[in-house]
Amino acid sequence: MFRWQSVSSATHGHEYNNFVSPKGVGTRTESAAATHETKELNATKDRVGELQARELEKGAHLLEEHIDESEIDVVDGRLERIRKDDGERYFRLLG
Protein backbone atom coordinates (compact mmCIF):
# COMPACT_ATOMS: atom_id res chain seq x y z
CA MET A 1 0.00 0.00 0.00
CA PHE A 2 1.27 3.48 -0.90
CA ARG A 3 0.33 6.83 0.63
CA TRP A 4 1.29 10.51 0.36
CA GLN A 5 3.13 12.22 3.19
CA SER A 6 3.77 15.97 3.57
CA VAL A 7 7.24 16.82 4.82
CA SER A 8 8.38 20.32 5.76
CA SER A 9 11.94 21.48 5.18
CA ALA A 10 13.30 22.90 8.43
CA THR A 11 15.77 25.15 6.64
CA HIS A 12 13.48 26.98 4.21
CA GLY A 13 9.94 26.31 5.43
CA HIS A 14 8.98 24.59 2.16
CA GLU A 15 6.58 21.69 2.18
CA TYR A 16 7.07 18.74 -0.13
CA ASN A 17 4.73 15.84 -0.81
CA ASN A 18 6.55 12.55 -0.67
CA PHE A 19 5.28 9.28 -2.09
CA VAL A 20 5.65 6.77 0.71
CA SER A 21 5.91 3.06 0.14
CA PRO A 22 5.96 0.44 2.86
CA LYS A 23 9.76 0.71 2.75
CA GLY A 24 9.79 4.47 3.47
CA VAL A 25 9.84 7.83 1.75
CA GLY A 26 10.34 7.85 -2.01
CA THR A 27 13.58 9.35 -3.31
CA ARG A 28 12.13 11.08 -6.38
CA THR A 29 10.65 14.03 -4.46
CA GLU A 30 13.62 14.23 -2.10
CA SER A 31 15.99 14.59 -5.05
CA ALA A 32 13.74 17.32 -6.49
CA ALA A 33 13.96 19.17 -3.17
CA ALA A 34 17.74 18.76 -3.14
CA THR A 35 17.93 20.07 -6.72
CA HIS A 36 15.81 23.09 -5.77
CA GLU A 37 18.05 23.87 -2.78
CA THR A 38 21.19 23.48 -4.93
CA LYS A 39 19.81 25.94 -7.50
CA GLU A 40 18.88 28.36 -4.72
CA LEU A 41 22.39 28.11 -3.23
CA ASN A 42 24.04 28.71 -6.62
CA ALA A 43 21.83 31.77 -7.25
CA THR A 44 22.81 33.17 -3.85
CA LYS A 45 26.51 32.60 -4.54
CA ASP A 46 26.15 34.39 -7.89
CA ARG A 47 24.49 37.38 -6.20
CA VAL A 48 27.21 37.58 -3.55
CA GLY A 49 29.91 37.43 -6.23
CA GLU A 50 28.24 40.25 -8.18
CA LEU A 51 27.97 42.42 -5.07
CA GLN A 52 31.60 41.80 -4.13
CA ALA A 53 32.76 42.66 -7.66
CA ARG A 54 30.80 45.94 -7.54
CA GLU A 55 32.29 46.84 -4.17
CA LEU A 56 35.81 46.10 -5.43
CA GLU A 57 35.17 48.32 -8.47
CA LYS A 58 34.21 51.15 -6.08
CA GLY A 59 37.60 50.79 -4.35
CA ALA A 60 36.73 48.52 -1.42
CA HIS A 61 39.24 46.21 0.23
CA LEU A 62 37.52 42.90 1.04
CA LEU A 63 38.86 40.37 3.53
CA GLU A 64 40.50 37.44 1.76
CA GLU A 65 38.57 34.90 3.85
CA HIS A 66 35.26 36.26 2.49
CA ILE A 67 36.21 36.05 -1.20
CA ASP A 68 35.90 33.08 -3.54
CA GLU A 69 38.15 34.10 -6.43
CA SER A 70 36.32 31.81 -8.85
CA GLU A 71 33.02 33.64 -8.12
CA ILE A 72 34.35 37.19 -8.64
CA ASP A 73 34.08 38.59 -12.17
CA VAL A 74 36.30 41.66 -12.52
CA VAL A 75 37.67 43.29 -15.65
CA ASP A 76 40.98 41.74 -16.78
CA GLY A 77 41.25 39.71 -13.55
CA ARG A 78 42.88 42.68 -11.82
CA LEU A 79 42.58 41.33 -8.27
CA GLU A 80 45.51 41.96 -5.97
CA ARG A 81 46.17 40.50 -2.51
CA ILE A 82 47.47 42.93 0.07
CA ARG A 83 48.29 42.78 3.77
CA LYS A 84 47.26 45.79 5.85
CA ASP A 85 48.65 47.10 9.13
CA ASP A 86 46.08 45.05 11.04
CA GLY A 87 47.81 41.88 9.82
CA GLU A 88 44.79 40.71 7.78
CA ARG A 89 44.97 39.86 4.07
CA TYR A 90 42.62 41.65 1.68
CA PHE A 91 41.69 41.73 -2.00
CA ARG A 92 41.48 44.95 -3.99
CA LEU A 93 41.49 45.94 -7.64
CA LEU A 94 44.74 47.07 -9.18
CA GLY A 95 45.00 50.65 -9.92
Output DSSP code: residue 70: G
Cα separation, 84 vs 1, whole angstroms: 66
**Mean pLDDT throughout 16-39?**
68
Whole-angstrom distance, CA of residue 2 vs CA of residue 11: 27
pLDDT-based confidence at residue 1 (cuts at 50, 70, 90): very low
The whole-model pTM stands at 0.59
Percent residues over pLDDT 70 in the chain: 69
Q: For residues 53 and 73, is the Cβ–Cβ distance under 8 A?
A: yes
**What's the sign of the alpha-carbon dihedral 88, 89, 91, 95?**
positive
Q: How far apart are CA 49 and CA 29, in angstroms?
A: 30
Q: How many Cβ atoms sit within 10 Å of the Cβ of residue 85? A: 5
pLDDT per residue as tens digits for the range 46-86: 898 889 989 998 999 999 998 888 777 777 778 889 999 99
